[in-house]
Structure 1
Amino acid sequence: MAFWHRWTKHHPPGPVIDQDGTPVLAKAAEQFGDLAELGQYVAQHGIRVVDPGVPLSNYAGTAAALRVWETQPSVRKVVDYIARALSTIPWHVYERVSDTDRRRVTDHPLALLLANPAPAVPPSRLWHSVIVDWLIHDRWCMQVLPNADTASGWELRRKPARRMHILADDDDQPAALYLISSRGPAQVVPLPGRYLFDHGYATVGADGTSPMETMQQILAEQSEAVEYRRSVWKNGARVPAVIERPADAPGWSKTARDRFMAGFNAFIGRGPTVGGTPLLEDGMKLVTVEAFKPVDTQDIEGRKLTDAEVASSYHIPPELVGARAGNFSNLDAFRQMLYTHSIGPDITMLQDVINTMLVPLIAPGSNLYVEANVEAKLRGSFTEQATLLQTATGAPYMVRSEARAVMNLPYLEGTEELVTPLNVLVGGLASPTDTAPPAALPKGQGRPA
């Protein structure tokens, strides 16, 4: 209830009218202490909100998503893996000269902005934060600001998902951005504006649906399992044994019992004698019993199961995050699939936002477009690339000066020409590894089998 009253004090909503025309804001405030329950009640009972603003349940969902990021290792592992993979993909700008001609552009303000979007933040770090917002909250936003101190004249500034919501019209189409500030009242920014944003599907509105809400049962089960295993480790016997004292042993005085317990606790505590063997009195025996064993908690199996469930929820092969064992061949195949089938749609959605929202702002009326250079992430080893390119070109493809630059060697005069072996002729052999063409054999002789 305290949170509800604080929220209504700083964000007074419009009048809430029931179906019979009776104001129900005060009644709802008295009956509901949970914002999610209040939001569900409003939607289920057809209560008309004159100025709906942001659904109250969104604030509870945002807080829950932030807690999950901080407390759930599986979510952080998978989300961080995807964010690191996406944020390190370079963006290239091209000019569409014709249907068969594309030219790479590197000196246009659009290209300069994508290469250095924020003056004080590295590009990969900025995109990493934006993508984490997207994966955790199912929405993200960046503001496009003019900045005369940058080479492009512009900069991109992230709007944290916890401080922004997307207001929708009756058709659940984005109509405005609701931006929360710690320095003043919230702002409602009509669209379109100088913002880049995207959101996922929501049953009501256009604010997206956090995957944390969908996975809350799995994550709650994991939290309970961790709590149980921690209790077992804390309360279970460290040594599967008990001390037996003869039944006919003389009675213990309180002083003697306290002295023995103090000495025994010294061996099971955290002192220098921990882990040793206690000194038993006459007649006492240390007897092994079938007690708790660490393997019974299935700690590793439980964590891997949660990792696999979260990875599957984000369409990522569990093998890539260590949730299932893999070998070299299938891991290499999964790596290739990562940038095509797994996060390929995510790349396309980011690319669409940039081309439909950013390009018209920075380069209006031009034939420029932005494309993610996914090939940079799919390149094989240097040996694989060299073999592939030599086969594709049919001849050496690097001059000696380029090869020396790769090895960080100084430039030498006379190394700018391409050296072509004598057994490679244009129109003759297709590859240096081919044998002699049929035309080079004596007349009447064919190529041997």
Structure 2
Amino acid sequence: MNITDWFQRKVSATTRALTLLMPLRPGSGLRGSYESLAREGYMQNSVVHACVKEIAEAAAGVPWSLYQRKADGDLEEVSAHPLLKLFDRPNPFQGKFELIERCVAHLYLSGNAYVEAVGPESRAAHAKTPPTELYALRPDRITILPDPTRFIRGYEYTVGGQTVRFAPEQVLHLKLFHPLDDWYGLSPVQVAALSVDKMNASDKWNAALLQNSAVPSGALVSKKRLTDEQYTRLKDEMRDQVQGIANARTPLLLEEDIEWKEIGLSPRDMDWIDGLRFSALQIAQIYNVPPELIGLQPATYSNRREARKALYTEVVLPVLARLRDAFNNWLLPRFGETLFLDYDADRIEALSEDRDSLWRRAVQSHFLTLNEKREMVGYDAVPDGNRVFLPQNLAALDDTAKSPPSDDRDPPTVH
């Protein structure tokens, strides 16, 4: 190594160290916020619950395939391999569907998802030896330990007052883009927090409205001062005889010099329904889930089918690509450098119509070579495939066009 290369590497390492020595900014961890995101978002808000459930279950239902990269660069599918067994049964408590579902759900709730590889006890062997089990870890229990030269020194997992430290090679960290955080991803629920709060407040307001006879709050106005005994008795009668669902629209019996005056706003004045629908559509927009799939728009067979296709194309396939690249970068090198794991988009039923259309376009494209058509539909090239094959009827028309006209043609028939 010459002095120039050494100096450039030294400057690069110093710059990186100065950047990563900066401490985590306050509030960047999820230990205090994930519970509120999950509780107020997924557990209390029907739209967030439906969006996350649609994305996670759709992603978990897509089949995966393992390929072996040959010397010439082509991929050959592998039907039996220890990695496939690990993927199908990642741990004694979960299958592949539940593992992927939990990872995607964590990712779209907190912006972060963590997968632990359980294998040999030797820390140095983690990056080289295949793991025996995979576990999806709760994001709020994970703390990232930054390192000035390696970016991440490790991870701390805390539960029940006990903390376990993981080496960087033991944990796969998936995160959504965050413009202001170098270590943690941005939660979609945090982006939709205002709409979530409005929906939750609207639901609570509507429930309270029903519990108070389905009318807004009002005031009992007395023209004379009530004694303490009269005041207490009137409050008890209002609570026992008027409030509650069972007493909805029950007539109110008032004594002398007492009248009822409404001081609240009606549901029409608050425009509660339109506001609730707008907040719900905002949440669906943030998750990029078609509103027809979660009951926010009228759904027919045709537009529901198009909505399902849009969900896979715009949401599910990108998150599967994120998982594929992460697994190939983190997990696959432990089983062999020539292995490649990929999801099988051809077996997604919602995209079968587009796949059939692609095949028809490939077959009907007579100006393409055989190998170009095979590449168009996802197949490898074949020897002697760089030729253009024309159907016989097109070849015959072409030959006829090139031949000179004959003088002894039959005269046209006149009817």
TM-score band (shorter)? 0.5 to 0.7
Q: Does 1:64 align with 2:40?
A: no
Residue matched to 1:112: 85
Runs (5+) with no aligned partner, structure 2 = 1-17, 121-129, 362-390, 393-409, 411-415
Q: For residue 313 of structure 2, give the secondary structure of its aligned residue in structure 1.
A: helix
TM-fit CA distance, 1:297: 4.9
TM-fit CA distance, 1:79: 1.6
Change (3 A) 1:146 1:168: closer
Change (3 A) 1:158 1:287: closer
Amino acid at match of 2:242: I
**1:309-332 alpha-carbon deviations (Å, 9 max, x no partner):** 112112222222222333322221
Residue 157 (structure 1) aligned to one of 120, 128, 135: 135
Q: Does 1:187 align with 2:141?
A: no
Residue matched to 2:177: 201
Change (3 A) 1:114 1:300: farther
Q: For residue 348 of structure 2, give the secondary structure of its aligned residue in structure 1.
A: helix
Q: For residue 364 of structure 1, give the secondary structure of its aligned residue in structure 2.
A: coil
- 1:308-323 equivalent positions in 2, closer than 5 A: 308-323=281-296
Residue matched to 1:306: 279
- 1:231-380 equivalent positions in 2, closer than 5 A: 232-234=209-211, 238=215, 267-268=241-242, 294-361=267-334, 363-365=335-337, 367-379=338-350
Change (3 A) 1:268 1:112: same
**1:174-193 alpha-carbon deviations (Å, 9 max, x no partner):** 4233223336445362x4x1
Change (3 A) 1:335 1:243: same
Amino acid at match of 2:173: F
Q: CA RMSD in A?
A: 5.0
Q: For the residues of structure 2 that align with 1:319 and 1:67, how far apart are their CA atoms?
A: 28
Compute the TM-score of the two structures, normalised by the length of structure 2.
0.62
Change (3 A) 1:242 1:85: same
Q: For residue 343 of structure 1, give the secondary structure of its aligned residue in structure 2.
A: helix
TM-fit CA distance, 1:57: 1.3
TM-fit CA distance, 1:85: 1.4
Change (3 A) 1:174 1:86: farther
Q: Does 1:131 align with 2:131?
A: no
Paired residue total: 334
Change (3 A) 1:241 1:347: closer
Task: Tell me which protein shows more helix as a share of its residues.
Answer: 2
Q: For residue 58 of structure 1, give the secondary structure of its aligned residue in structure 2.
A: coil
Q: For the residues of structure 1 that align with 2:94 and 2:174, how far apart are their CA atoms?
A: 21
Runs (5+) with no aligned partner, structure 1 = 1-47, 393-426, 429-443, 445-449
Residue matched to 1:212: 189
Identity fraction in percent: 19
Amino acid at match of 2:118: L
TM-fit CA distance, 1:359: 0.8
Compute the TM-score of the two structures, normalised by the length of structure 1.
0.58
Q: For the residues of structure 2 that align with 1:113 and 1:334, how far apart are their CA atoms?
A: 33
User: Please, which moves more after superposition, 221-230 or 107-116?
Assistant: 221-230
Residue 62 (structure 2) aligned to one of 82, 85, 89: 89
Residue matched to 2:127: none
